[in-house]
Structure 1
Amino acid sequence: MMKQQSLATELPYVSTRKVREQPILRRPHRTNPIVWCGAILCLIFSLLLIFFGVATLIVFLDIKPRIPVFDIPAASLNLIFFDSLECFNGDFTFLTNFSNPNRKIDVRLEHVEIELYFSNSLLATQALMPSTERQGKARTVSVHMISSLVYLPPNLAIELRKQVQSNRVTYNIRGTFRVRANLGLIHYSYWLHGRCQLEMSSPPTGVLLARSCRTKR
């Protein structure tokens, strides 16, 4: 009799435990439409980015763009004068030549700065107006640089005097240009650096004897 009572008391307990262990079913959570829109927009943007990247690569391989070339075909050294041992005065005129070797691309020089050096000492600087260089065309610009009471270290002042006496003066021209190129709807910009070393005869009738120019990015 006691066994039957204990069995009767245990059965409801087992049944209740089984009921509690049954999983509770929940309604599936629906994704927010905003999340779907964001994912679709990201996919479209990625596809457009890949498309324009491939198109740009094809255009570059077909056109093979080249950088503009900076050169100085002529120059005139008019004056070199020292007020004192280290105070330099000078008058120098030269022609700059900008040529666009590309046959299918126009380029625009948006920022042009020209600097005149003796050795590593700056003698004068000048900014030029922006200009557009057409396909396969070249343009020359006259640049007149005047130096007034420019300080030169004693060793460079002595060296410049020696060069004037030997009738062979070496000047350096440095040009910095910001170039903008147009490939239809594609536009890109980059910086160019032109370097020219000029050998001049002595003033007041100094003429260009030799030059070495290069242009690099």
Structure 2
Amino acid sequence: MSRSRETNPHFHPPQELDDGIILHFPPQQSRRHRDPPQPQPQPSLTPHSPRPGQPHHQTPRRHTTRFQPPDSPSRHSPTPRGQPEPHPNSFPRHTQPVRGPGPHSPGHNGRPGQSQQQQSSALRVPSPQKTRTYTWLIGVACALLWIAVFLGGLVVLIVYVLFRPRSPKFEVSNASLNAAYLDMGYLLNADMTLLANFTNPSKKATVDFSTVVIQLYYGNTLIATSYIDPFSEMKAEYKIKAVHLISSQVWLRSAESQRLKQQMNDNKIIFEVKGLLRTRSSLGTFFRYSYWLYGHCKIAVTGPPSGILVAKRCKTKR
């Protein structure tokens, strides 16, 4: 059967796709007189009659249509029957504007403005609370304590600048070695008399000595100890106290015993005298302060029985 060429420009013959599927397209009207799209039945698919020698079967429909903007040159391309043409002002799927959750979206709770109320309640500043009474009391007590400490330090500084108190001094004025010998070569027996001088150099403060301990050492070994009764000194006054020190059967190390024998032969024996003093200075009636003093003297005496002081070096520190 011969096919005549269609001269109607709005008529498009059915197109044959792969696998023997023929699509029928309705005649396309001009854009100016085009009616709004209406729902139409699905396009009928007429399978192509099988050729001689081929099995008769129906293949699934494969149809791909690309969307082209209305202003493109191929805007008059045929559209499959049953599918509405895209609106000229519509956006492609990949360029659709993103909108927020609508009134029926899962993220919307159905009440306009409720999410804004929740955010405003979450950012609400808590109302100020009244400070409790015990908090004020603790703050006032701390402030008073710091003020008292500051005033106390200021008073001490003023007193020190005005009176310039000086610490008492301890020294050995004279010493006499009455006896000294080694029993069995390492046991020391000694008898010494000291004249200890306690001086108050301050002209504005009196000093009270409540505890006075005098210790006698030979090398690093303590060989005798004596105590002095408490006493006081006025301004710029000094007092001398006699101290009797006796050691009996004091064990000395081998090196110390050998050194003592050598010093006796040289007629110059070296001892150390240490004083531990607990004193209190009084500046007037109300201002008094106590402290410890540590005196240290290194003396050299001649051999017994008439050993006399030949050298000394003393210092006192707090």
Q: What interval of TM-score do these two structures reach, taking the shorter chain for normalisation? A: 0.7 to 0.9
- For 2:314 and 2:126, how far apart are their aligned partners in 1? 79
Q: Which residue of 2 aligns with 1:173?
A: 273
Q: Indicate yes or no: 2:291 matched with 1:190.
A: yes
Q: Which residue of 1 aligns with 2:259?
A: 159
List aligned pairs for 1:41-190, cutoff 5 A: 41-184=141-284, 185-190=286-291
TM-score scaled by structure 2?
0.58
Name the amino acid aligned to 1:166: D
- How far apart are residue 166 of structure 1 and its match? 2.5
Number of equivalent positions: 208
- For 1:158 and 1:13, how far apart are their aligned partners in 2? 108
- For 1:108 and 1:14, how far apart are their aligned partners in 2? 90
Over aligned residue pairs, what C-alpha RMSD do you find?
2.6
- For 1:147 and 1:25, how far apart are their aligned partners in 2? 83
SS in 1 for 2:245: strand
Farther off after superposition, 139-148 or 166-175: 166-175
Task: Mark the runs of 5 or more structure 1 residues left unpaired by the alignment.
Answer: 1-5, 7-11
Q: In 2 relative to 1, CA 26–72 (structure 1 residues): closer, same or farther, beyond 3 Å?
A: closer
- For 2:114 and 2:274, how far apart are their aligned partners in 1? 93
Aligned-residue sequence identity (percent) comes to 33
- How far apart are residue 187 of structure 1 and its match? 3.7
Q: In 2 relative to 1, CA 202–40 (structure 1 residues): closer, same or farther, beyond 3 Å?
A: same
Q: Which has the higher contact order (CA 8 A, sep 6+)?
A: 1
More strand by share: 1
- How far apart are residue 157 of structure 1 and its match? 1.9
Q: Which residue of 2 aligns with 1:205?
A: 306
- For 2:155 and 2:188, how far apart are their aligned partners in 1? 55
TM-score scaled by structure 1?
0.83
More helix by share: 1
- How far apart are residue 123 of structure 1 and its match? 1.4
- How far apart are residue 41 of structure 1 and its match? 2.6
Task: Mark the runs of 5 or more structure 2 residues left unpaired by the alignment.
Answer: 1-102, 104-109
Runs of 4+ in 1 over 6 A off after TM superposition: 15-22, 24-27
- How far apart are residue 216 of structure 1 and its match? 1.7
Q: Indicate yes or no: 2:130 matched with 1:30.
A: yes
- How far apart are residue 26 of structure 1 and its match? 8.0
Name the amino acid aligned to 2:194: F
Name the amino acid aligned to 1:113: V
- How far apart are residue 56 of structure 1 and its match? 0.9
Name the amino acid aligned to 2:135: V
- For 1:118 and 1:21, how far apart are their aligned partners in 2? 87
- How far apart are residue 171 of structure 1 and its match? 1.5
- For 1:177 and 1:26, how far apart are their aligned partners in 2? 64
